[in-house]
Amino acid sequence: MIDSASFPEENRGSRGRGFNRMKPGDVLTHLGSIVASLMFVWALFQQYFPYQLRHNIDKYFQKAFSFVYPYIQITFSEFTGERLMRSELYSAIENYLSSTSSTQAKRLKADVLKNNQSLVLSMDDHEEVADEFQGIKFWWASGKNISKNQTLSFYPVKDEKRYYKLTFHKRHRDLVIGPYLSHVLKEGKAINVRNRQRKLYTNNGSHWSHVMFEHPATFETLALEAEKKKEILEDLTTFSQAEEFYARIGRAWKRGYLLYGPPGTGKSTMIAAMANLLNYDIYDLELTAVKDNTELRKLLIETSSKSVVVIEDIDCSLDLTAQRRKPKESEEATSEQDQKPKPPKEDREPKQSQVTLSGLLNFIDGLWSACGGERLIVFTTNHVEKLDPALIRKGRMDKHVELSYCSFEAFRVLAKNYLLLDDHQLFDKIRQLLEQTKITPADVAEHLMPKTVPPNAEVCLSSLVQGLEAAAAEEEEARSKAEEEGMNKEEKEISAIVEETKEENSASKEESKYNQQ
Protein backbone atom coordinates (compact mmCIF):
# COMPACT_ATOMS: atom_id res chain seq x y z
CA MET A 1 0.00 0.00 0.00
CA ILE A 2 1.42 3.32 -0.95
CA ASP A 3 1.51 5.91 1.79
CA SER A 4 0.65 9.43 0.74
CA ALA A 5 3.33 10.71 3.08
CA SER A 6 5.99 9.25 0.75
CA PHE A 7 5.11 11.81 -1.89
CA PRO A 8 6.81 15.15 -1.80
CA GLU A 9 4.86 17.92 -0.16
CA GLU A 10 4.71 19.90 -3.34
CA ASN A 11 3.06 17.01 -5.20
CA ARG A 12 0.34 16.35 -2.59
CA GLY A 13 -2.83 18.26 -3.33
CA SER A 14 -1.40 19.59 -6.56
CA ARG A 15 -4.62 18.70 -8.32
CA GLY A 16 -6.70 20.69 -5.85
CA ARG A 17 -4.31 23.63 -5.89
CA GLY A 18 -4.24 23.49 -9.68
CA PHE A 19 -8.06 23.51 -9.87
CA ASN A 20 -8.20 26.41 -7.42
CA ARG A 21 -5.73 28.32 -9.56
CA MET A 22 -7.98 27.89 -12.65
CA LYS A 23 -9.50 31.06 -14.02
CA PRO A 24 -13.34 31.44 -14.13
CA GLY A 25 -13.20 31.27 -17.90
CA ASP A 26 -11.38 27.93 -17.80
CA VAL A 27 -13.98 26.53 -15.37
CA LEU A 28 -16.82 27.49 -17.71
CA THR A 29 -14.93 25.95 -20.63
CA HIS A 30 -14.58 22.64 -18.79
CA LEU A 31 -18.25 22.67 -17.77
CA GLY A 32 -19.30 23.42 -21.34
CA SER A 33 -17.24 20.49 -22.61
CA ILE A 34 -18.82 18.16 -20.05
CA VAL A 35 -22.35 19.29 -20.96
CA ALA A 36 -21.64 18.94 -24.68
CA SER A 37 -20.29 15.44 -24.14
CA LEU A 38 -23.37 14.43 -22.16
CA MET A 39 -25.66 15.82 -24.85
CA PHE A 40 -23.71 13.92 -27.53
CA VAL A 41 -23.97 10.67 -25.59
CA TRP A 42 -27.70 11.24 -25.01
CA ALA A 43 -28.27 11.88 -28.73
CA LEU A 44 -26.47 8.64 -29.60
CA PHE A 45 -28.53 6.80 -27.01
CA GLN A 46 -31.80 8.17 -28.41
CA GLN A 47 -30.93 7.43 -32.04
CA TYR A 48 -29.10 4.10 -32.00
CA PHE A 49 -30.51 2.23 -29.01
CA PRO A 50 -33.70 0.27 -29.79
CA TYR A 51 -36.92 1.65 -28.36
CA GLN A 52 -37.60 -1.46 -26.28
CA LEU A 53 -34.15 -1.26 -24.72
CA ARG A 54 -34.54 2.45 -23.96
CA HIS A 55 -37.99 1.78 -22.48
CA ASN A 56 -36.61 -0.92 -20.18
CA ILE A 57 -33.68 1.25 -19.10
CA ASP A 58 -36.05 4.13 -18.33
CA LYS A 59 -38.41 1.81 -16.42
CA TYR A 60 -35.64 0.40 -14.23
CA PHE A 61 -34.17 3.87 -13.74
CA GLN A 62 -37.54 5.14 -12.49
CA LYS A 63 -37.78 2.19 -10.10
CA ALA A 64 -34.29 2.84 -8.79
CA PHE A 65 -35.04 6.55 -8.48
CA SER A 66 -38.22 5.83 -6.49
CA PHE A 67 -36.12 4.22 -3.75
CA VAL A 68 -34.09 7.42 -3.44
CA TYR A 69 -37.04 9.84 -3.98
CA PRO A 70 -39.89 8.73 -1.68
CA TYR A 71 -42.45 11.32 -2.81
CA ILE A 72 -45.66 10.78 -4.76
CA GLN A 73 -47.31 13.30 -7.11
CA ILE A 74 -50.97 13.56 -8.13
CA THR A 75 -52.03 15.83 -11.02
CA PHE A 76 -55.51 17.40 -11.14
CA SER A 77 -56.31 18.69 -14.64
CA GLU A 78 -58.67 21.61 -15.24
CA PHE A 79 -60.67 19.76 -17.89
CA THR A 80 -61.78 16.15 -18.12
CA GLY A 81 -62.56 14.09 -21.22
CA GLU A 82 -60.55 15.88 -23.94
CA ARG A 83 -61.45 19.32 -22.60
CA LEU A 84 -65.16 18.61 -22.64
CA MET A 85 -66.01 19.63 -19.10
CA ARG A 86 -64.32 21.63 -16.34
CA SER A 87 -63.40 19.46 -13.37
CA GLU A 88 -65.30 20.21 -10.16
CA LEU A 89 -62.32 18.96 -8.17
CA TYR A 90 -60.02 21.46 -9.92
CA SER A 91 -62.39 24.33 -9.04
CA ALA A 92 -62.60 23.13 -5.43
CA ILE A 93 -58.78 23.00 -5.17
CA GLU A 94 -58.53 26.50 -6.66
CA ASN A 95 -60.93 27.85 -4.03
CA TYR A 96 -59.28 25.88 -1.20
CA LEU A 97 -55.79 27.20 -1.99
CA SER A 98 -56.90 30.84 -2.28
CA SER A 99 -56.26 31.62 1.41
CA THR A 100 -52.93 29.77 1.47
CA SER A 101 -51.81 31.43 -1.77
CA SER A 102 -52.33 34.94 -0.44
CA THR A 103 -49.74 34.38 2.33
CA GLN A 104 -47.17 32.14 0.60
CA ALA A 105 -47.11 32.62 -3.19
CA LYS A 106 -44.88 35.28 -4.72
CA ARG A 107 -46.93 35.70 -7.89
CA LEU A 108 -50.69 36.01 -7.51
CA LYS A 109 -53.83 36.57 -9.59
CA ALA A 110 -56.43 38.97 -8.15
CA ASP A 111 -60.18 39.09 -8.67
CA VAL A 112 -62.97 41.17 -7.18
CA LEU A 113 -66.08 39.58 -5.72
CA LYS A 114 -69.63 40.80 -5.17
CA ASN A 115 -70.27 44.53 -5.37
CA ASN A 116 -66.52 45.20 -5.69
CA GLN A 117 -66.16 44.86 -1.92
CA SER A 118 -64.00 41.73 -1.58
CA LEU A 119 -60.64 40.85 -3.12
CA VAL A 120 -59.72 37.22 -3.78
CA LEU A 121 -56.15 36.15 -4.52
CA SER A 122 -55.11 32.90 -6.17
CA MET A 123 -51.85 31.31 -7.29
CA ASP A 124 -50.43 32.36 -10.62
CA ASP A 125 -49.15 29.73 -13.03
CA HIS A 126 -46.01 27.80 -12.00
CA GLU A 127 -46.22 28.78 -8.31
CA GLU A 128 -45.92 26.48 -5.27
CA VAL A 129 -47.41 26.68 -1.76
CA ALA A 130 -47.39 24.36 1.26
CA ASP A 131 -50.41 23.10 3.19
CA GLU A 132 -50.71 21.26 6.50
CA PHE A 133 -53.35 18.72 7.56
CA GLN A 134 -53.31 16.70 10.79
CA GLY A 135 -49.70 17.73 11.34
CA ILE A 136 -48.59 16.48 7.90
CA LYS A 137 -47.13 18.82 5.29
CA PHE A 138 -48.19 18.77 1.62
CA TRP A 139 -47.05 20.81 -1.38
CA TRP A 140 -49.30 22.20 -4.12
CA ALA A 141 -47.95 23.54 -7.43
CA SER A 142 -49.86 25.16 -10.30
CA GLY A 143 -48.92 24.85 -13.95
CA LYS A 144 -50.22 24.88 -17.50
CA ASN A 145 -49.52 23.20 -20.82
CA ILE A 146 -49.91 25.19 -24.04
CA SER A 147 -50.60 23.48 -27.33
CA LYS A 148 -51.16 25.13 -30.70
CA ASN A 149 -54.48 24.77 -32.46
CA GLN A 150 -54.12 22.33 -35.36
CA THR A 151 -56.68 24.09 -37.58
CA LEU A 152 -55.54 26.81 -39.98
CA SER A 153 -56.76 30.25 -38.96
CA PHE A 154 -55.77 33.89 -39.33
CA TYR A 155 -56.42 34.28 -35.60
CA PRO A 156 -55.08 31.07 -33.99
CA VAL A 157 -56.15 30.40 -30.42
CA LYS A 158 -53.71 28.73 -28.04
CA ASP A 159 -55.19 25.81 -26.14
CA GLU A 160 -54.14 26.22 -22.50
CA LYS A 161 -54.63 23.29 -20.12
CA ARG A 162 -54.01 24.18 -16.49
CA TYR A 163 -53.45 21.76 -13.65
CA TYR A 164 -52.57 21.48 -9.97
CA LYS A 165 -49.93 19.02 -8.75
CA LEU A 166 -49.98 17.63 -5.20
CA THR A 167 -46.71 16.24 -3.75
CA PHE A 168 -46.53 14.20 -0.54
CA HIS A 169 -44.47 11.45 1.13
CA LYS A 170 -45.45 7.94 0.14
CA ARG A 171 -46.10 6.95 3.74
CA HIS A 172 -49.09 9.36 3.73
CA ARG A 173 -50.79 7.85 0.67
CA ASP A 174 -53.85 6.58 2.58
CA LEU A 175 -54.26 9.89 4.41
CA VAL A 176 -54.21 11.84 1.13
CA ILE A 177 -56.55 9.59 -0.84
CA GLY A 178 -59.03 9.44 2.02
CA PRO A 179 -59.46 12.27 4.56
CA TYR A 180 -57.23 14.96 3.03
CA LEU A 181 -58.76 15.15 -0.47
CA SER A 182 -62.26 14.88 1.02
CA HIS A 183 -61.37 17.83 3.27
CA VAL A 184 -60.08 19.84 0.29
CA LEU A 185 -63.22 19.13 -1.77
CA LYS A 186 -65.60 20.00 1.08
CA GLU A 187 -63.82 23.25 2.00
CA GLY A 188 -63.44 24.28 -1.64
CA LYS A 189 -67.16 23.86 -2.33
CA ALA A 190 -68.05 25.81 0.82
CA ILE A 191 -65.77 28.69 -0.26
CA ASN A 192 -67.33 28.61 -3.74
CA VAL A 193 -70.82 29.00 -2.26
CA ARG A 194 -69.67 31.98 -0.15
CA ASN A 195 -67.86 33.68 -3.02
CA ARG A 196 -70.23 32.74 -5.86
CA GLN A 197 -70.77 35.56 -8.31
CA ARG A 198 -72.94 34.96 -11.33
CA LYS A 199 -71.43 35.37 -14.78
CA LEU A 200 -72.56 36.36 -18.25
CA TYR A 201 -70.83 34.24 -20.90
CA THR A 202 -70.44 34.74 -24.64
CA ASN A 203 -68.86 32.40 -27.16
CA ASN A 204 -65.72 33.15 -29.14
CA GLY A 205 -65.46 30.25 -31.55
CA SER A 206 -65.53 27.06 -29.49
CA HIS A 207 -64.68 28.72 -26.16
CA TRP A 208 -66.64 30.75 -23.63
CA SER A 209 -65.48 34.04 -22.15
CA HIS A 210 -67.32 35.89 -19.40
CA VAL A 211 -67.92 39.06 -17.43
CA MET A 212 -69.64 39.46 -14.08
CA PHE A 213 -73.44 39.49 -14.37
CA GLU A 214 -74.93 42.40 -12.42
CA HIS A 215 -78.27 43.13 -14.12
CA PRO A 216 -80.80 44.56 -11.59
CA ALA A 217 -83.98 43.24 -13.27
CA THR A 218 -86.49 41.40 -11.07
CA PHE A 219 -90.03 40.14 -11.58
CA GLU A 220 -91.26 42.88 -9.24
CA THR A 221 -90.01 45.57 -11.65
CA LEU A 222 -91.02 43.71 -14.82
CA ALA A 223 -93.75 45.47 -16.85
CA LEU A 224 -96.09 42.51 -17.16
CA GLU A 225 -99.64 41.57 -16.22
CA ALA A 226 -99.86 40.14 -12.70
CA GLU A 227 -101.53 36.90 -13.78
CA LYS A 228 -98.91 36.12 -16.43
CA LYS A 229 -96.11 37.10 -14.05
CA LYS A 230 -97.44 34.76 -11.36
CA GLU A 231 -97.73 31.90 -13.86
CA ILE A 232 -94.09 32.27 -14.96
CA LEU A 233 -92.84 32.60 -11.37
CA GLU A 234 -94.59 29.40 -10.31
CA ASP A 235 -93.29 27.54 -13.36
CA LEU A 236 -89.67 28.58 -12.72
CA THR A 237 -89.82 27.82 -9.01
CA THR A 238 -91.34 24.40 -9.64
CA PHE A 239 -88.63 23.60 -12.20
CA SER A 240 -85.77 24.58 -9.86
CA GLN A 241 -87.09 22.20 -7.17
CA ALA A 242 -87.91 19.26 -9.45
CA GLU A 243 -84.64 17.32 -9.67
CA GLU A 244 -86.15 14.13 -8.21
CA PHE A 245 -89.25 14.47 -10.39
CA TYR A 246 -87.23 14.71 -13.62
CA ALA A 247 -85.11 11.73 -12.56
CA ARG A 248 -88.25 9.70 -11.81
CA ILE A 249 -89.87 10.35 -15.20
CA GLY A 250 -86.60 9.76 -17.08
CA ARG A 251 -86.08 13.23 -18.57
CA ALA A 252 -83.10 15.56 -18.58
CA TRP A 253 -83.44 18.32 -15.97
CA LYS A 254 -83.94 21.21 -18.39
CA ARG A 255 -86.77 23.40 -19.63
CA GLY A 256 -87.25 25.43 -22.80
CA TYR A 257 -88.76 28.92 -22.97
CA LEU A 258 -89.81 30.72 -26.15
CA LEU A 259 -90.20 34.49 -25.65
CA TYR A 260 -91.79 36.19 -28.65
CA GLY A 261 -93.29 39.57 -29.43
CA PRO A 262 -92.50 42.94 -31.04
CA PRO A 263 -89.17 44.69 -30.34
CA GLY A 264 -89.10 46.61 -27.06
CA THR A 265 -91.51 44.38 -25.14
CA GLY A 266 -88.98 43.23 -22.53
CA LYS A 267 -87.69 39.85 -23.76
CA SER A 268 -84.07 40.46 -22.69
CA THR A 269 -85.20 41.97 -19.38
CA MET A 270 -87.31 38.87 -18.77
CA ILE A 271 -84.21 36.67 -19.20
CA ALA A 272 -82.26 38.76 -16.68
CA ALA A 273 -85.15 38.54 -14.19
CA MET A 274 -85.27 34.74 -14.62
CA ALA A 275 -81.53 34.44 -13.94
CA ASN A 276 -81.77 36.70 -10.88
CA LEU A 277 -84.73 34.75 -9.50
CA LEU A 278 -83.00 31.36 -9.76
CA ASN A 279 -79.43 32.61 -9.16
CA TYR A 280 -78.28 31.17 -12.52
CA ASP A 281 -75.43 32.09 -14.86
CA ILE A 282 -76.30 33.21 -18.40
CA TYR A 283 -74.70 31.81 -21.58
CA ASP A 284 -75.48 34.14 -24.50
CA LEU A 285 -74.92 31.93 -27.55
CA GLU A 286 -74.17 33.66 -30.87
CA LEU A 287 -74.93 31.02 -33.50
CA THR A 288 -73.23 32.86 -36.36
CA ALA A 289 -69.90 32.55 -34.51
CA VAL A 290 -70.21 28.76 -34.25
CA LYS A 291 -68.38 26.90 -37.02
CA ASP A 292 -70.40 23.67 -37.17
CA ASN A 293 -72.52 21.22 -35.20
CA THR A 294 -69.50 19.68 -33.47
CA GLU A 295 -68.44 23.06 -32.13
CA LEU A 296 -72.01 23.75 -31.01
CA ARG A 297 -72.05 20.48 -29.07
CA LYS A 298 -68.73 21.32 -27.44
CA LEU A 299 -70.08 24.69 -26.28
CA LEU A 300 -73.11 22.98 -24.75
CA ILE A 301 -70.96 20.53 -22.81
CA GLU A 302 -68.86 23.35 -21.36
CA THR A 303 -71.90 25.12 -19.89
CA SER A 304 -72.38 24.63 -16.17
CA SER A 305 -75.47 23.51 -14.32
CA LYS A 306 -77.69 26.24 -12.83
CA SER A 307 -77.53 28.24 -16.05
CA VAL A 308 -79.68 29.90 -18.71
CA VAL A 309 -78.58 29.23 -22.31
CA VAL A 310 -79.92 32.07 -24.48
CA ILE A 311 -80.20 32.42 -28.26
CA GLU A 312 -81.62 35.88 -28.95
CA ASP A 313 -83.40 36.74 -32.21
CA ILE A 314 -83.09 33.16 -33.39
CA ASP A 315 -85.03 33.98 -36.56
CA CYS A 316 -82.15 36.29 -37.58
CA SER A 317 -79.22 34.15 -36.35
CA LEU A 318 -79.23 31.50 -39.09
CA ASP A 319 -81.42 30.62 -42.07
CA LEU A 320 -82.77 27.52 -40.34
CA THR A 321 -86.05 27.36 -42.24
CA ALA A 322 -84.32 27.29 -45.65
CA GLN A 323 -82.72 23.98 -44.75
CA ARG A 324 -86.11 22.23 -45.03
CA ARG A 325 -86.68 23.07 -48.70
CA LYS A 326 -88.06 20.37 -50.92
CA PRO A 327 -85.45 18.41 -52.88
CA LYS A 328 -86.63 19.86 -56.21
CA GLU A 329 -86.41 23.43 -54.90
CA SER A 330 -83.00 22.68 -53.46
CA GLU A 331 -81.74 21.30 -56.79
CA GLU A 332 -83.07 24.32 -58.69
CA ALA A 333 -81.43 26.71 -56.24
CA THR A 334 -78.16 24.80 -56.49
CA SER A 335 -78.17 24.81 -60.31
CA GLU A 336 -78.93 28.54 -60.37
CA GLN A 337 -76.07 29.14 -57.98
CA ASP A 338 -73.69 27.08 -60.11
CA GLN A 339 -74.59 29.12 -63.20
CA LYS A 340 -73.70 32.40 -61.51
CA PRO A 341 -70.13 33.60 -62.10
CA LYS A 342 -67.98 33.10 -58.99
CA PRO A 343 -66.35 36.24 -57.57
CA PRO A 344 -62.58 36.50 -57.26
CA LYS A 345 -61.08 34.79 -54.21
CA GLU A 346 -60.38 38.05 -52.39
CA ASP A 347 -63.97 39.28 -52.95
CA ARG A 348 -65.69 36.22 -51.56
CA GLU A 349 -67.51 36.49 -48.26
CA PRO A 350 -65.96 34.80 -45.23
CA LYS A 351 -67.04 31.22 -44.61
CA GLN A 352 -70.47 31.11 -42.98
CA SER A 353 -71.56 28.98 -40.06
CA GLN A 354 -72.32 25.36 -40.96
CA VAL A 355 -74.70 24.82 -38.04
CA THR A 356 -77.78 22.97 -39.30
CA LEU A 357 -81.34 22.73 -38.04
CA SER A 358 -80.67 19.11 -37.11
CA GLY A 359 -77.64 20.14 -35.06
CA LEU A 360 -79.64 22.80 -33.25
CA LEU A 361 -82.45 20.34 -32.49
CA ASN A 362 -79.93 17.91 -31.01
CA PHE A 363 -78.46 20.79 -29.02
CA ILE A 364 -81.86 21.43 -27.42
CA ASP A 365 -83.01 17.91 -26.57
CA GLY A 366 -80.55 15.37 -27.97
CA LEU A 367 -78.42 12.97 -25.96
CA TRP A 368 -75.79 15.62 -25.24
CA SER A 369 -78.35 17.99 -23.75
CA ALA A 370 -78.48 15.72 -20.67
CA CYS A 371 -74.89 16.66 -19.74
CA GLY A 372 -75.03 18.77 -16.62
CA GLY A 373 -78.41 19.62 -15.17
CA GLU A 374 -80.77 22.34 -13.98
CA ARG A 375 -80.57 24.29 -17.22
CA LEU A 376 -82.99 26.65 -18.96
CA ILE A 377 -82.82 27.08 -22.75
CA VAL A 378 -84.41 30.34 -23.91
CA PHE A 379 -85.10 31.49 -27.48
CA THR A 380 -86.29 35.00 -28.32
CA THR A 381 -87.81 36.13 -31.61
CA ASN A 382 -89.78 39.02 -33.05
CA HIS A 383 -91.41 36.78 -35.68
CA VAL A 384 -92.45 33.42 -34.27
CA GLU A 385 -94.17 32.48 -37.53
CA LYS A 386 -90.77 32.34 -39.28
CA LEU A 387 -89.46 29.53 -37.07
CA ASP A 388 -89.59 25.88 -38.04
CA PRO A 389 -92.39 24.12 -36.11
CA ALA A 390 -89.98 21.33 -35.10
CA LEU A 391 -87.81 23.90 -33.35
CA ILE A 392 -90.51 25.29 -31.06
CA ARG A 393 -92.73 22.28 -30.43
CA LYS A 394 -93.58 21.20 -26.88
CA GLY A 395 -90.77 19.16 -25.40
CA ARG A 396 -88.19 21.50 -26.90
CA MET A 397 -89.67 24.88 -26.12
CA ASP A 398 -91.92 23.76 -23.26
CA LYS A 399 -93.40 27.17 -22.45
CA HIS A 400 -94.33 29.85 -24.98
CA VAL A 401 -94.57 33.36 -23.52
CA GLU A 402 -95.94 36.20 -25.63
CA LEU A 403 -94.69 39.63 -24.62
CA SER A 404 -96.97 42.08 -26.38
CA TYR A 405 -97.66 45.83 -26.33
CA CYS A 406 -98.02 47.74 -23.09
CA SER A 407 -101.28 47.25 -21.21
CA PHE A 408 -102.59 49.55 -18.49
CA GLU A 409 -101.56 47.01 -15.83
CA ALA A 410 -98.01 46.99 -17.18
CA PHE A 411 -98.05 50.80 -17.28
CA ARG A 412 -98.91 50.92 -13.56
CA VAL A 413 -95.80 48.84 -12.81
CA LEU A 414 -93.66 51.25 -14.84
CA ALA A 415 -95.22 54.29 -13.15
CA LYS A 416 -94.40 52.77 -9.77
CA ASN A 417 -90.82 51.99 -10.83
CA TYR A 418 -90.02 55.33 -12.45
CA LEU A 419 -92.19 57.86 -10.60
CA LEU A 420 -93.17 56.04 -7.38
CA LEU A 421 -96.83 56.62 -8.29
CA ASP A 422 -99.76 54.36 -7.44
CA ASP A 423 -102.40 56.70 -8.85
CA HIS A 424 -102.76 60.02 -10.67
CA GLN A 425 -105.49 62.08 -12.31
CA LEU A 426 -104.05 61.32 -15.77
CA PHE A 427 -104.25 57.55 -15.28
CA ASP A 428 -107.83 57.31 -16.64
CA LYS A 429 -106.90 59.14 -19.82
CA ILE A 430 -103.80 56.99 -20.23
CA ARG A 431 -105.95 53.87 -19.81
CA GLN A 432 -108.25 54.99 -22.64
CA LEU A 433 -105.34 55.79 -24.93
CA LEU A 434 -103.59 52.46 -24.22
CA GLU A 435 -106.79 50.63 -25.21
CA GLN A 436 -106.89 52.53 -28.52
CA THR A 437 -103.26 52.37 -29.61
CA LYS A 438 -100.24 50.08 -29.59
CA ILE A 439 -97.08 51.16 -27.78
CA THR A 440 -94.25 49.05 -26.38
CA PRO A 441 -93.17 49.11 -22.72
CA ALA A 442 -89.79 50.46 -23.86
CA ASP A 443 -91.48 53.52 -25.43
CA VAL A 444 -93.60 54.07 -22.31
CA ALA A 445 -90.51 53.84 -20.10
CA GLU A 446 -88.75 56.46 -22.21
CA HIS A 447 -91.61 58.93 -21.62
CA LEU A 448 -91.61 58.18 -17.89
CA MET A 449 -87.86 58.67 -17.52
CA PRO A 450 -87.41 61.76 -15.29
CA LYS A 451 -85.93 64.74 -17.11
CA THR A 452 -85.39 66.91 -14.03
CA VAL A 453 -84.15 66.58 -10.43
CA PRO A 454 -86.31 66.08 -8.45
CA PRO A 455 -88.52 64.22 -10.97
CA ASN A 456 -91.75 65.93 -12.04
CA ALA A 457 -94.44 63.25 -12.40
CA GLU A 458 -96.89 65.66 -14.07
CA VAL A 459 -94.40 66.45 -16.84
CA CYS A 460 -93.57 62.77 -17.45
CA LEU A 461 -97.20 61.66 -17.59
CA SER A 462 -98.12 64.58 -19.87
CA SER A 463 -95.28 63.56 -22.18
CA LEU A 464 -96.69 60.03 -22.26
CA VAL A 465 -100.19 61.32 -23.05
CA GLN A 466 -98.82 63.37 -25.94
CA GLY A 467 -96.87 60.37 -27.22
CA LEU A 468 -99.96 58.14 -27.04
CA GLU A 469 -102.10 60.73 -28.82
CA ALA A 470 -99.48 61.09 -31.55
CA ALA A 471 -99.27 57.31 -31.93
CA ALA A 472 -103.08 57.07 -32.08
CA ALA A 473 -103.18 59.79 -34.76
CA GLU A 474 -100.53 57.97 -36.80
CA GLU A 475 -102.44 54.71 -36.54
CA GLU A 476 -105.68 56.43 -37.61
CA GLU A 477 -103.93 58.06 -40.55
CA ALA A 478 -102.38 54.74 -41.58
CA ARG A 479 -105.78 53.03 -41.25
CA SER A 480 -107.49 55.71 -43.37
CA LYS A 481 -104.78 55.51 -45.98
CA ALA A 482 -105.08 51.72 -46.11
CA GLU A 483 -108.88 51.96 -46.47
CA GLU A 484 -108.51 54.59 -49.18
CA GLU A 485 -106.02 52.45 -51.04
CA GLY A 486 -108.37 49.51 -50.64
CA MET A 487 -111.27 51.54 -52.01
CA ASN A 488 -109.20 52.82 -54.91
CA LYS A 489 -108.11 49.30 -55.66
CA GLU A 490 -111.71 48.10 -55.55
CA GLU A 491 -112.82 50.98 -57.82
CA LYS A 492 -110.06 50.15 -60.28
CA GLU A 493 -111.12 46.53 -60.32
CA ILE A 494 -114.77 47.53 -60.93
CA SER A 495 -113.71 49.93 -63.69
CA ALA A 496 -111.64 47.21 -65.30
CA ILE A 497 -114.61 44.83 -65.20
CA VAL A 498 -116.91 47.50 -66.73
CA GLU A 499 -114.41 48.23 -69.50
CA GLU A 500 -114.02 44.53 -70.19
CA THR A 501 -117.83 44.16 -70.36
CA LYS A 502 -118.10 47.10 -72.76
CA GLU A 503 -115.45 45.60 -75.01
CA GLU A 504 -117.24 42.26 -75.03
CA ASN A 505 -120.59 43.95 -75.88
CA SER A 506 -118.97 45.96 -78.63
CA ALA A 507 -117.38 42.85 -80.07
CA SER A 508 -120.68 40.95 -80.00
CA LYS A 509 -122.46 43.84 -81.82
CA GLU A 510 -119.81 43.90 -84.52
CA GLU A 511 -120.15 40.16 -84.94
CA SER A 512 -123.96 40.36 -85.26
CA LYS A 513 -123.69 43.12 -87.91
CA TYR A 514 -121.24 41.01 -89.84
CA ASN A 515 -123.59 38.04 -89.73
CA GLN A 516 -126.56 40.17 -90.95
CA GLN A 517 -124.52 41.36 -93.92
* Model confidence pTM above 0.75: no
Same domain, 110 and 236: no
Higher pLDDT, 515 or 368: 368
Backbone angles phi, psi at 188, to 5 degrees: -65, -40
pLDDT tens, 224-280? 999 999 999 999 999 999 999 999 999 999 999 999 999 999 999 999 999 999 999
Residue 5's pLDDT is 46
Question: 315 lies in a domain?
Answer: yes
Question: 391 lies in a domain?
Answer: yes
Higher pLDDT, 516 or 267: 267
Question: 357 lies in a domain?
Answer: yes
Cβ atoms 373, 305 nearer than 8 A: yes
Same domain, 166 and 297: no
Residue 130's pLDDT is 92
Same domain, 386 and 253: yes
Task: Of 442, 499, 491, 489, give the one whose Cα is nearest residue 467.
Answer: 442
Question: 303 lies in a domain?
Answer: yes
Q: SS in 3 state form for 251-283?
A: CCCEEEEEEECCCCCCHHHHHHHHHHHHCCEEE
Lowest pLDDT segment from 22-26, 106-110, 383-387, 443-447? 22-26
Residue 302's pLDDT is 87
CA distance 311 to 425: 42
Same domain, 61 and 77: no
pLDDT band at 345 (very low <50, low <70, confident <90, very high): very low
Question: 234 lies in a domain?
Answer: yes
Question: 11 lies in a domain?
Answer: no
Cβ atoms 287, 299 nearer than 8 A: no
Question: 115 lies in a domain?
Answer: yes
Burial (Cβ within 10 Å: 0-12, 13-18, ≥19) of residue 334? exposed
Residue 253's pLDDT is 93
pLDDT tens, 99-147? 777 788 888 888 776 555 677 778 888 889 999 999 999 999 999 887 6
Residue 45, pLDDT > 80, answer no
CATH code, domain with 394: 3.40.50.300
Concatenated DSSP letters of 58-114: HHHHHHHHHHH--EEEEEEESEETTTTEE-HHHHHHHHHHHHHHHHH-SSEEEEE-G
Q: How many CB atoms lie within 10 A of CB 408?
A: 15
Q: Which residues are bridge partners to 203 per DSSP?
A: 208
Residue 305's pLDDT is 87
Range of the domain at 448: 420-491
pLDDT tens, 417-441? 999 999 999 999 999 999 989 999 9
Lowest pLDDT segment from 128-132, 334-338, 386-390, 456-460? 334-338
User: Up-side HSE of residue 259: CA atoms within 13 Å toward CB?
Assistant: 23
pLDDT tens, 272-312? 999 999 999 999 999 988 988 889 988 988 898 899 999 99
Same domain, 59 and 103: no
DSSP 2: -
Backbone angles phi, psi at 156, to 5 degrees: -65, 145
Same domain, 162 and 291: no
Q: How many domains does the chain divide into?
A: 4
